[in-house]
Amino acid sequence: MNTLSTWSLLVLALPTENATARMRFWRALKAKGCAVLRDGIYLLPFTVDRETALRDLATAIGESGGTAHLLRAPSLDQEQEAEFRDLFDRSNDYDALISALSDARKIVFGQAETELRRLMRRLRKDYESILAIDFFPTEASTRAEVAWQDFVAHVDTVMSPGEPHPAERAIRTLALKDYRGRTWATRRRIWVDRVASAWLIRRFIDPDGRFIWLTSPDACPSDALGFDFDGAAFTHVGERVTFEVLMASFNLESDPALLRLAAMVHALDVGGAPVPEAIGFEAIMAGARERVADDDALLDEMSRVLDSMYTHFAAIAKSADHGGRP
């Protein structure tokens, strides 16, 4: 740690007559990850976005009857730098999360799928809220990431037996003409990556193909193209989920709308950067899965959702290409 950081300081006096406003501002300061230097003085490592957020908060405090002044200053020396950085140590937050994950593992078996997904969403939100304000990651963040990935894998094993392990191999570019009118096979009771991959196959790769839903990967016929299970023709490779592998295999990665869908599928299947549409899609998928027992009908229903999302993302991309004009 040889460089000295620049810091944004918010010096404030909250309105004394409005308890509701005081509580709202305290919560906002905590959510932004501000450290407390002393009563009424809050600190954040400087970035333009963080300082803009503090400036907006200072304006709101002033409009509510309080006072707030925003300052910017560098650390004086390495000793002060270390002292300020220590104020942002998230080790206790990560330890609490790891403990919560450990407790949650004990109740996974026997839970309904909807309850498990609700639990996953809550814990994912808790984890991502810590990540968002971990400005100086330490070994604690690595431990938390390992614990989170382990928990996700455990839940996936319970909800989707046969979830594939990432393969380490090259992804070859394939000719679409060699994959027309084929039989495609994946595990039954399809979920996000499998339903999105089946939609991609039907829409962009093999419109005349047919699908079979396997009770076990071992039941895959020798003449079928398997996807999203260990040993399948198309499955997870490295950090790519099956949807992304299919896109790469058939040279579909130049389509910006498909890339938007790929980011959503990746986030829902293995985690990663949050995608705004992911929670809504997951909710629709979970509801459809509860109502529809037949995988063919489930694919038909979710294909309409994916068609609509693809059309929306394509329109956004087209608008961006025309400088925001329709």
pLDDT in tens, 35-45: 999 999 999 99
Give Cα separations from 165 to 153, 170, 237, 238, 316 (angstroms): 10, 15, 8, 9, 34
Which residue in this structure is represented by tokens 């002033």? 62
Mean pLDDT of the chain, nearest integer: 92
What CATH architecture does domain 6-86 belong to? 2-Layer Sandwich (3.30)
Q: Report yes or no: 191 and 281 within 8 Å, Cβ to Cβ.
A: no
Instruction: Give residue 324's pLDDT.
Output: 57
What is this structure's pTM?
Answer: 0.60
The CA distance from 295 to 207, in Å, is 17
Q: 256-270 and 295-321 are packed helices; what angle lies between their axes, rounded to 10 degrees?
A: 130
The string over 147-174, giving b where at least 16 C-beta atoms fall within 10 Å of a residue's C-beta and e elsewhere, is: bbeebbeebbeebbebbbeeeeeebeeb
Task: Determine the pLDDT at residue 111.
Answer: 79
The dihedral formed by the CA atoms of 248, 253, 255 and 258, expressed in degrees to the nearest 10: 60
Distances, alpha carbon 314 to alpha carbons 304, 310, 317, in Å: 15, 6, 5
Which residue is it, tokens 């971990």? 134
Q: Which DSSP letter does residue 213 get?
A: E
Asked whether the beta carbons of 39 and 13 are under 8 A apart, the reply is: no
Low-confidence stretches of the chain (pLDDT < 50) are: none
- Return residue ranges of the chain for CATH 3.30.70.240: 6-86
Determine the pLDDT at residue 322.
Answer: 64
